[in-house]
């Protein structure tokens, strides 16, 4: 019987060494310590032993039982630890793994350039004004000295909402709105979208951006206009830039001019972009027409001023060497990623 007990102990130890799961452990417990287990049946047979042998075998049997019991408890703990370790390992975050790159949006070249322009004019003391894109015919045309039968209406292919309401064809109506609402001195620029029913091609878009400028005060002369616009061009494109003014006609300014700047592609030598002239047309400008001032309740005998307007898209295209205006409105990421 002693040998039997020893054997049971050895077998149990052997099996417990290999155990890896709770289920296996339970099977072993039942096999050795259960009601019908090996050790239990030995203990049951003790009755047949002599009274000298009984305490000895009983003591040994209890030792074996305790030993197996302890080992089972320990194995259960080991299994629990291993499982916990596994769980923790699965939850581990590898902070050295390369991250997934998120695609970040970028500023649109129109927006970037406009910010640049705004900064320059703000630094010269200009305010930023806004006006509606759906505009009264009066503000878009009449108040700017462009009556219904004026030929200038024909040049600006207008989207009419009805007889009296249009999609603004220019940002100049913001001049009128500003002069109606504010007393001179006025110093403002007004950027915004304008609409013309042009067919879309490389140089025309039915929607594009203009930036309007207006300065009204006592004693403003053409010299102020030149000085302001020259400063703007030098700050925008570089100190080496030259400007020149050509006589022109706009209904809302008198005298009127167009301003050219040194071609920034060839530096004035002559190239494809400036059509070999060395100059690029930048904007329209002039001294605000006395009738326009009167339309806004400003006395032209007391006040004078200058105004200017340019196409933002054209400026962006010149700045970045973009030869198709459609690229600015197609939201093609391959194009936009380059800015
Ligand atoms: N509104 C003109 C256009 O759309 C641009 C312009 C020219 C605005 C001269 C002005 C200006 O304020 O003085 O062609």
Q: Is the dihedral of CA 158, 159, 162, 168 positive or negative?
A: negative
Distance CA 14, CA 10 (A): 6
Pocket of ligand 1 (CB under 6 A): 170, 172, 212, 250, 253, 284-286, 307-309
Q: Are strands 186-195 and 207-217 parallel, antiparallel or unpaired?
A: antiparallel
Q: What is the pLDDT of residue 69?
A: 87
Q: What is the pLDDT of residue 223?
A: 98
Q: What is the pLDDT of residue 172?
A: 98
In three state form, how does the secondary structure of 91-135 look?
Answer: HCCCCCCCCCCCCCCCCCHHHHHHHHHHHHHHHCCCEECCCCCEE
Instruction: Tell me how far the alpha carbon of residue 304 lies from the centroid of ligand 1, in angstroms.
Output: 17
Instruction: Tell me how far the alpha carbon of residue 257 lies from the centroid of ligand 1, in angstroms.
Output: 10
Instruction: Tell me how far the alpha carbon of residue 18 lies from the centroid of ligand 1, in angstroms.
Output: 92
166 neighbors 160 (Cβ within 8 angstroms): yes
Distance CA 137, CA 134 (A): 10
Q: Ligand 1, atom 8: nearest CA belongs to which residue? A: 309
Q: Which of 145, 193, 309, 313 best tests ligand 1's pocket when mutated (most atoms within 8 Å of CB)?
A: 309
Instruction: Tell me how far the alpha carbon of residue 109 lies from the centroid of ligand 1, in angstroms.
Output: 23
pLDDT in tens, 135-189: 999 999 999 999 888 877 876 789 999 989 999 999 999 999 999 999 999 999 9
The ligand 1 atom at the shortest distance from the C-alpha of residue 283 is 7
Q: What is the pLDDT of residue 266?
A: 86
Instruction: Tell me how far the alpha carbon of residue 172 lies from the centroid of ligand 1, in angstroms.
Output: 6
Identify the segments of the chain with pLDDT beneath 70.
155
According to DSSP, the residues that pair with 305 across neighbouring strands are: 216
- Phi, psi (degrees; rounded to nearest 5) at 147: -65, 170
pTM for this prediction: 0.71
Q: What is the pLDDT of residue 170?
A: 96
Instruction: Tell me how far the alpha carbon of residue 44 lies from the centroid of ligand 1, in angstroms.
Output: 114
DSSP-derived 3-state class of residue 182: coil
Residue 76 CB neighbour total at 10 angstroms: 15
Q: Which of 154, 193, 252 best tests ligand 1's pocket when mutated (most atoms within 8 Å of CB)?
A: 252
DSSP-derived 3-state class of residue 311: strand
- Phi, psi (degrees; rounded to nearest 5) at 123: -65, -20
Instruction: Tell me how far the alpha carbon of residue 206 lies from the centroid of ligand 1, in angstroms.
Output: 17
Distance CA 120, CA 334 (A): 30
Distance CA 208, CA 171 (A): 11
CA 268 from chain centre, in angstroms, equals 37
């Amino acid at each position: 019987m002693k040998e039997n007990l020893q054997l049971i102990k050895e077998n149990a130890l052997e099996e417990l060494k290999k155990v890896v799961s709770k289920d296996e452990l339970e099977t072993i417990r039942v096999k050795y310590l259960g009601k019908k287990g090996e050790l239990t049946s030995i203990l049951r047979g003790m009755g047949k032993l002599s009274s000298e042998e009984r305490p000895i075998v009983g003591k040994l049997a209890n030792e074996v039982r305790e030993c197996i019991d302890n080992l089972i408890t320990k194995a259960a703990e080991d299994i629990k630890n291993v499982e916990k370790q596994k769980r923790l390992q699965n939850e581990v975050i590898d902070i050295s793994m390369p991250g997934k790159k998120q695609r970040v949006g970028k500023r649109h070249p129109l927006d970037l350039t406009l910010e640049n322009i705004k900064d320059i004019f703000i630094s010269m003391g200009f305010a930023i004004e806004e006006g509606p894109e759906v505009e009264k015919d009066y503000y878009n045309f009449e108040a700017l000295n462009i009556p219904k039968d004026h030929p200038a209406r024909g040049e600006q292919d207008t989207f009419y909402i009805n007889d009296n309401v249009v999609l603004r064809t220019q940002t100049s109506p913001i001049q009128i709105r500003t002069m109606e609402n504010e007393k001179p001195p006025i110093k403002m620029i007004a950027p915004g979208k304008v609409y013309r029913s042009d067919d879309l091609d490389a140089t025309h878009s039915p929607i594009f951006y203009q930036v309007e400028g207006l300065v009204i005060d006592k004693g403003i002369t053409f010299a102020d206009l030149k000085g302001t616009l020259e400063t703007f061009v030098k700050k925008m494109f570089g100190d080496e830039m030259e400007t020149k003014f050509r006589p022109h006609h706009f209904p809302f300014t008198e005298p009127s001019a167009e301003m050219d700047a040194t071609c920034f592609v060839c530096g004035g030598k002559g190239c494809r972009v400036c059509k070999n002239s060395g100059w690029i047309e930048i904007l329209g400008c002039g001294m605000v027409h006395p009738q326009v001032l009167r339309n806004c309740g400003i006395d032209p005998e007391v006040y004078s001023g200058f105004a200017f307007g340019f196409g933002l898209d054209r400026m962006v295209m010149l700045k970045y060497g973009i030869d198709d205006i459609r690229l600015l409105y197609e939201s093609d990421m391959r194009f936009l990623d380059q800015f």
